[in-house]
Amino acid sequence: MMPSLRPSRPVASKLPKLGKPVTAENNRLDKVEISQTKRSPSSPQGGAKKRAAFGDITNAHKNPQLIQKKKEGQKVAIKKTKSAPTSDITKNNELNIKKTQKKATVTEEHLPEVKEEKINTEQKTSVPTKEIPEEKVLPPGVEDIDQDSLDDPFSNSEYATDIFSYMRDREEKFLLPNYLEMQTDISKDMRAILVDWMVEVQENFELNHETLYLAVKMVDHYLAVSVVMKEKLQLIGSTAVLIASKFEERCPPCVDDFMYICDDAYKRDEVIAMEMEILQKLYFDINIPVPYRFLRRFAKCAHATMETLTLARYICELTLQEYDFVQERASKMAASCLLLALQMKGLGRWTATLHYYSGYQTNDLLPLVKRLNFLLTYPPNKKLKAVRSKYSHRVFFEVAKLPPMDMLTLTEALQS
């Protein structure tokens, strides 16, 4: 069984290098060196010199009295340079006059064409008018759930429909087979114990729920392509949480933290090697659709309260431990969990809006909803209490304490 989690220990700070005392002055210099631009020591210009913007290409360095006299139209005495012979000057002047006359005749001949070309380029480079986006055409009775959040840049309301349509397409790529048939040393119970421990890790590190779901998915996909011994199962689970944290979290835990929660059963090199192996086996494609994301979207369609959404999340998280639900699609699992939560709270049926955005009707979800309600009524392994104890807290509205529905009542309510 997995070792119990201990309070997180403080991470030791790095020791300074020998021969270089660490002082406030050294720290300040290090910051300055990082902020400075690299300059070659052999540069002929040397260090950067102070100057105003465009100071070298203006007349700011000239005498201001001369500039003022030029503005007023007065004659300014100019210093004469050493004069050249007069014969050379006259010859040069005659040549310059002939050249300028030739240039003038050429430009006058082609002047109309140049003007026309300028007009044409101006017409081509004119700013196009802003196109008005087409309005959504929805079936009758379907609500536009993204209309109210158009002013919120964080909701991505303009792209939400395309994003979830893309995720639905990617589900086809990540369908799991019955991989335990090829595993000789791993059983369903071992996998359930591992996921129960991963739930505790998610709570201990205060990770996002998306991180937990993605980590469990990566474990399943890795076991589907690799035969593993039971001694390496916890290493796979902890490494999967590490990879998922790097993908989902803003500040993921470090490798030492995962070595600590494994009670130092694995070395640092083993964790890094397993991380490389998992990524290579999955071809670095770990953007796997998870039910948690679909669940938030579908709950918005139903205008569900936070308590109802938490109940649906509790049901969905219970399925992570059960191998029998591994082969279900993420979107279908999310829709079934929400439908069961709505029935348990007595909040009505599956509406046309939910049908439109989820792609499922009530008849499509009925078999899976019955299995979920059976899971709530008869838990397979009562010793694994991580999920139930987690959702028994007041923060999660104590949804784990709600009684499950009677199977006959649930069937009649869904079929009516």
Which of the listed residues 222, 254, 281 is the one where a domain comes to its end? Answer: 281
Report CA torsion sign: 144, 145, 148, 150.
negative
246 and 318 fall within a common domain: no
Q: Which of 281, 313, 330 is the last residue of a domain?
A: 281
User: What does residue 27 show for φ and ψ, rounded to 5 degrees?
Assistant: -65, -40
Q: Does 347 reside within a domain?
A: yes
Task: Judge if 310 and 268 occupy the same domain.
Answer: no
Instruction: Report how many domains make up the chain.
Output: 2
Tokens of 167: 């995720």
pTM for the full predicted model: 0.69
Q: Are 180 and 323 in contact (CB under 8 A)?
A: yes
- Note whether 306 and 219 are same-domain residues: no
Q: How far apart, in whole angstroms, are the C-alpha atoms of residue 101 and residue 109?
A: 13
146: phi > 0 → left, psi -120 to 50 → alpha, else beta; which? alpha
pLDDT band at 2 (very low <50, low <70, confident <90, very high): low
Query: What single-letter amino acid sits at 124?
Result: K
pLDDT given for residue 274 in this prediction? 98
Condensed to tens digits (0 to 9), the pLDDT of residues 154-171 reads 777 888 999 999 999 999
Last residue of a domain, one of 281, 307, 338: 281
Question: Is residue 201 one of the residues assigned to a domain?
Answer: yes
Structure confidence by residue, pLDDT tens digits, 180-207: 999 999 999 999 999 999 999 999 999 9
Distance CA 316, CA 334 (A): 7
Report helix angle 330-344 to 306-318, nearest 10.
130
Asked whether residue 346 carries a pLDDT value surpassing 80, the answer given is yes
211 and 297 both lie in a single domain: no
Predicted confidence at residue 153, as pLDDT, reads 76
* Packing angle of the helix pair 160-170, 291-301 (nearest 10 deg): 140
Do 390 and 306 fall into the same domain? yes
Are 260 and 369 in the same domain?
no
Does 300 or 122 have the greater pLDDT score?
Answer: 300
Residue 168 burial (CB count, 10 A): 16
Looking up residue 367, the CATH number of its domain turns out to be: 1.10.472.10
Select the more confidently predicted residue: 136 or 15.
136
pLDDT at 343: 96
Structural domain harbouring 393: 291-415
